[in-house]
């Protein structure tokens, strides 16, 4: 079961636009570690042609599913082994909230953001192969009660497949919504996720976005999230990367109009041979906007965690501010963290700060805890908990405690 | 209770303790005095089992058994307690959670169940009163932003909660104002009993006015240079260390 990248047209009925993406892909080729922005991502052994569309869907019952998702939601879209499962999904019932799939002629592919060649490669693959566009629309002034949850499960069926989710969340003026993305890997076989998520936030609207990535141990996970922000909006994003063999999250924030504020937070917890990458680009095009970034990583084994944070402050970004902090905790000799802030500032009427720290568990604190009878493992847990809380406590929907438990269990 | 025999300890390859011998019986209070850098904290770390404090020869016996192969946690579980000269700040770890984790670790080692929230809170409040600390401290992160005196009170609070059989107090009096010294000493004295032993490291006679020692030892250059009763501390107060250092060199 292999999927040949179409050279002419995409899925029948999708029209010519797809041609363009396929040619992008052909011309540029897949990224390799030789490219600067992909330097840290472990891509060895990645072969796109191996991942076809799933022709067999494993089963998951409601009880198992319930262990992994939010108890109460405003709507839940469940995709199993790459295939949408209407019987497991709950469509939003609240007036003003709509979820739908668009395919064929109705599928309007979003443009690939200019200047972002690196993400563009995977976005092009996504555009060429996405079966449909999942669109969630929140009408103006609607306050969505409970999170909208998007759940991708890969079962332990052993089916190797590739999926290319294309999701758009449209938040109307002065609306408020929380979106939770889940990636749940129940198997240990190779799978590919290559996702594009656009979150378009209209004037005065507020969005909170959380992503819990727990793909299986042999999964490839690539995701690009693009925020387009109107005037006086706020957006919070919190990405927790726990699973996959190689995972790369790119976030692009476009401040299109004045007065918005953004928080990008992330936690990556890696072990074994995992490679967990975070690549953020915040484009301050408009005045009076503020961005905050806090990324933390805990790495053991031979895991590699990377954070590359680009901030663009163009001439139009007057009275804007940005702060960025990335800290990584290395629990083993062979674990590795790469942290690279990249501030490109063409405006002297802005404030910008950034910091990075890579270190080990504090030996003094470890001894102090042990001197109180606390075992090495428990002392480590306490310090890791202390380290990760700062990010986890900002998670919505009571996710903090269960995620913390998962984090500690993974590192034990 | 504690028997230290001809102990040699190196730190980063430098010999710091050079043949220290000390014996403490149950219920006894021993004071250790000595000039800066003479090895007092090194002794306390060596007893507590800090990594990097390498025992090159000699032994430390606690209740008859060598502790040298035990980790710091196991030594604490066996009943050893070190009140640090410089308590460590641990941002992100709540004091209350730390105290409960520690208490439960000791209980678990004794084969007891975890303490329930109700009894824990009662115990905590009782001991807070003993060292006159406000409950709000337990909601803060361990030692984070505590003043010097508050850190020392917090050490004594931990000691009172954990009820060790051997307490080592490394300059618990340093940085305390007169009132705090009284409170901390009262807290320590309340823990004195016929089975619990204390090793009190200090530079000042004034602490020993509050916590009366059975024996006083002077540590010079990694060895006990002189031992005596509490009158030795008074002599030191008057005459300084020079006469002992001169005697030790001779
Ligand atoms: N890592 C190290 N390498 C070499 N020497 C060290 C190291 N750490 C400590 N020392 C030395 O060990 C000696 C004893 O230090 P220690 O802290 O035990 O002294 P102390 O008696 O407690 O002094 P104080 O009264 O100032 O608290 C000092 O001379 C100190 O410089
Ligand atoms: Mg000292």
CB spacing of B90 vs A386 below 8 angstroms: yes
Structure confidence at residue A37 (pLDDT): 63
Radius of gyration from C-alpha coordinates of chain A: 21
Looking at mean pLDDT, say which of A8-17, A256-265, A396-405 comes out highest: A256-265
CA–centroid distance, A250 to ligand 2, in Å, is 51
If one compares A16 and A94, the residue with the highest pLDDT of the two is A94
Does B145 contact ligand 1 (Cβ within 6 A)?
A: no
Nearest to A165 by CA among A94, A116, A101, A208: A101
pLDDT beyond 70 at A234: yes
Q: What token pair was written down for B64?
A: 């008859």
- Angle of helix B148-162 relative to helix B178-191, nearest 10 degrees? 10
B96 reaches A (C-beta below 8 A): no
ipTM of the complex: 0.96
C-alpha distance from A226 to closest chain B C-alpha (Å): 32
In angstroms, rounded to a whole number, what is the distance separating the alpha carbons of residues A86 and B201? 72
Pairing mode, strands A320-330 and A219-229: unpaired
What is the Rg, in whole angstroms, of the alpha carbon atoms belonging to chain B?
Answer: 18
**Predicted pLDDT of residue A53:** 75
Q: Is B222 in the pocket of ligand 1 (CB under 6 A)?
A: no
A17 has a pLDDT exceeding 90: no
Between chains, do B73 and A375 touch, taking CB under 8 Å as contact? yes
Helix H or strand E segment including A183: strand A176-185
pLDDT at A23: 61
* Banded model confidence at residue A44, pLDDT cuts 50, 70, 90: confident
Angle subtended by helix axes B117-130 and B178-191, to nearest 10: 130
Report how far residue B79's alpha carbon sits from residue B165's, in angstroms, rounded to the nearest whole number: 5
Taking the CA atoms of A67, A68, A72 and A78 in sequence, report the sign of the dihedral they define: negative
> Stretch A30-43: mean pLDDT, rounded?
68
Give the span between the Cα atoms of A226 and A38, in whole angstroms: 19
Q: How confident is the model at residue A134 (pLDDT cuts 50, 70, 90)?
A: very high
pLDDT number for residue A3: 30
For residue A364, the model assigns a pLDDT of 97
What is the model's pLDDT at position B241?
Answer: 85
Q: What is the pLDDT of residues A235-244, one digit of tens each?
A: 999 999 999 9
Give the pLDDT band of residue A7 (cuts 50, 70, 90): very low
pLDDT band at A15 (very low <50, low <70, confident <90, very high): very low
Residue A120 has pLDDT above 80, yes or no: no
| A97 band by pLDDT with thresholds 50, 70 and 90 | very high
Q: State the pLDDT at residue A114.
A: 63
B window 162-191, beta carbon within 8 A of A: 162
**Contact check, Cβ <8 Å, B51/A367:** yes
Q: CA–CA separation, A352 vs A343, rounded Å?
A: 8
CB atoms within 10 A of CB A111: 11
The answer on pLDDT for A95 being more than 90 is yes
Which ligand is nearest the CA of B9, by number?
1
pLDDT band at A337 (very low <50, low <70, confident <90, very high): very high
Contact A161, A132 (CB under 8 A): no
Q: Where are the beta strands (DSSP E) in A331-381?
A: 336-345, 350-359
Position A10 confidence tier, pLDDT thresholds 50, 70, 90: very low
Measure the CA–CA gap between B15 and A220, rounded to whole angstroms.
53
Question: Which residues in chain B land under pLDDT 50?
Answer: none
**pLDDT tens digits, A57-74:** 888 989 999 999 999 999
Q: Interior CA angle at A243 toward A238 and A249, to 5°?
A: 45
User: What does residue B239 show for φ and ψ, rounded to 5 degrees?
Assistant: -105, -10
In this predicted structure, which of A107-116, A216-225, B14-23, B152-161 has the lowest mean pLDDT?
A107-116
- At A260, list the tokens: 């918005």
Rounded to the nearest angstrom, the minimum Cα separation between A378 and chain B is 9
Q: How far apart are CA A159 and CA A56, in angstroms?
A: 7
When pLDDT is averaged across residues A326-343 and rounded to a whole number, the result is 95
d(CA A219, CA A209): 23
Confidence of residue A161 (pLDDT cuts 50, 70, 90): confident
The answer to whether residue A119 scores a pLDDT higher than 80 is: no
Does position A8 have pLDDT exceeding 50, yes or no?
Answer: no
- Residue A24: pLDDT above 70? no
Please state the rounded mean pLDDT for residues A112-141. 81
Indicate yes or no: CB of A368 within 8 angstroms of CB of B92: no
Rounded CA separation B239/B234 (Å): 9
Spatial separation of the C-alpha atoms in residues A82 and A192, rounded to whole Å: 10
Listing from the earlier edge strand, what are the strands of the sheet with B65-66? B14-24, B2-11, B53-62, B65-66
The answer on pLDDT for A12 being more than 70 is no
What is the rounded average pLDDT of the residues A289-293?
A: 98
- pLDDT confidence band for A55 (50 / 70 / 90): confident
Q: Does the CB atom of residue B71 touch ligand 1 within 6 A? A: no
**Taking all residues of chain A, what is their mean pLDDT, rounded to a whole number?**
88
Q: How many angstroms separate the CA atoms of A326 and A311, rounded?
A: 14
Element housing A322 (H / E): strand A320-330
Mutate one of A327, A364, A366, A368 to test the B interface: name it (highest B CB count within 10 A): A368
pLDDT more than 70, % of chain A:
89
**For residue B155, which phi and psi values (nearest 5 degrees)?**
-65, -45
Q: What is the mean pLDDT of residues A1-23?
A: 42
Which residues have C-beta within 8 Å of that of residue B33, sequence separation ≥ 6?
Answer: B201, B202, B203, B216, B217, B218, B219, B233, B236
Of A364, A378, A386, the CB nearest to B105: A378
Q: Compute the average pLDDT of residues A215-234.
A: 96
The yes-or-no verdict on residue A386 having pLDDT over 60 is: yes
């Amino acid at each position: 079961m292999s999927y040949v990248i179409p050279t002419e047209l995409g899925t029948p009925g999708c029209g010519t636009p797809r041609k363009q993406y396929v040619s992008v892909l052909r011309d540029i080729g897949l990224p390799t570690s030789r490219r600067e922005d992909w330097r840290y991502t472990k891509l060895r052994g990645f072969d796109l042609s191996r991942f076809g569309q799933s022709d067999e869907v494993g089963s998951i019952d409601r009880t198992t599913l319930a262990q992994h998702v939010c108890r109460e939601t405003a709507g839940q879209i469940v995709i199993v082994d790459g295939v949408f499962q209407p019987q497991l999904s709950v469509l939003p019932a609240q007036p003003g909230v709509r979820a739908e799939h668009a395919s064929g002629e109705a599928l309007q592919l979003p443009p690939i953001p200019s200047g972002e060649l690196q993400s563009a490669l995977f976005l092009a693959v996504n555009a060429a192969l996405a079966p449909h566009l999942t669109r969630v629309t929140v009408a103006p002034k609607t306050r969505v009660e409970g999170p909208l949850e998007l759940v991708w499960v890969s079962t332990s069926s052993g089916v190797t497949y590739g999926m290319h989710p294309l999701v758009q969340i449209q938040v109307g003026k002065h609306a408020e919504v929380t979106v939770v993305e889940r990636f749940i890997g129940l198997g240990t076989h190779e799978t590919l996720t290559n996702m594009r998520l656009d979150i378009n936030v209209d004037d005065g609207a507020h969005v909170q976005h959380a992503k819990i990535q727990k793909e299986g141990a042999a999964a490839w996970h690539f995701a690009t999230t693009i925020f387009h922000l109107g005037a006086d909006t706020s957006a919070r994003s919190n990405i927790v990367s726990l699973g996959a063999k190689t995972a790369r999250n790119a976030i692009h924030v476009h401040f299109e109009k004045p007065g918005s504020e953004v928080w990008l937070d992330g936690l990556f917890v890696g072990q074994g041979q995992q490679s967990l990458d975070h690549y953020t680009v915040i484009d301050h095009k408009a005045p009076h906007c503020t961005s905050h970034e806090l990324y933390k990583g805990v790495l053991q084994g031979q895991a590699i965690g990377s954070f590359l944070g680009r901030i663009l402050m163009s001439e139009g970004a007057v009275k804007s501010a940005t702060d960025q902090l990335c800290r990584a905790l290395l629990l083993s000799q062979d674990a590795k963290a790469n942290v690279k802030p990249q501030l490109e500032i063409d405006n002297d009427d802005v404030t910008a700060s950034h910091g990075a720290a890579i270190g080990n568990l504090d030996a003094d604190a470890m001894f102090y805890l042990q001197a109180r009878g606390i075992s090495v493992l428990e002392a480590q847990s306490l310090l890791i908990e202390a380290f990760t809380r700062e990010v986890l406590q900002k998670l919505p929907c009571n996710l903090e405690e269960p995620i913390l438990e998962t984090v500690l269990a993974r590192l034990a | 209770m504690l028997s230290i025999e001809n102990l040699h300890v190196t730190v980063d390859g430098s010999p710091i303790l050079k043949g220290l011998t000390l014996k403490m019986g149950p219920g006894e209070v021993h004071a250790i005095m000595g000039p800066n850098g003479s090895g007092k904290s090194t002794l306390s770390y060596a007893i507590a089992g800090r990594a990097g404090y390498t025992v090159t020869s000699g032994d430390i016996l606690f209740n008859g058994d060598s502790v040298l192969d035990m980790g710091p946690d196991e030594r604490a579980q066996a009943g050893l307690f070190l009140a640090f000269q410089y308590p460590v700040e641990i941002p992100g770890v709540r004091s209350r959670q730390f105290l409960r984790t520690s208490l439960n670790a000791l209980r678990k080692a004794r084969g007891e169940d975890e303490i329930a929230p109700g009894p824990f809170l009662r115990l905590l409040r009782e001991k807070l009163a003993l060292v006159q600390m406000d409950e709000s401290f337990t909601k803060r992160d361990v030692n984070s932003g505590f003043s010097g005196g508050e850190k020392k009170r917090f050490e004594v609070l931990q000691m009172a909660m954990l009820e060790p059989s051997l307490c080592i107090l490394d300059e618990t009096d340093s940085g305390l104002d007169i009132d705090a010294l009284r409170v901390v000493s009262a807290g320590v004295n309340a823990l004195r009993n016929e089975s619990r032993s204390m090793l009190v490291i200090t530079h000042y006679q004034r602490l020993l006015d509050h916590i009366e020692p059975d024996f006083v030892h002077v540590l010079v250059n990694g060895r006990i240079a002189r031992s005596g009763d509490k009158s030795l501390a008074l002599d030191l107060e008057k005459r300084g260390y020079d006469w002992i250092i001169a005697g030790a060199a001779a």
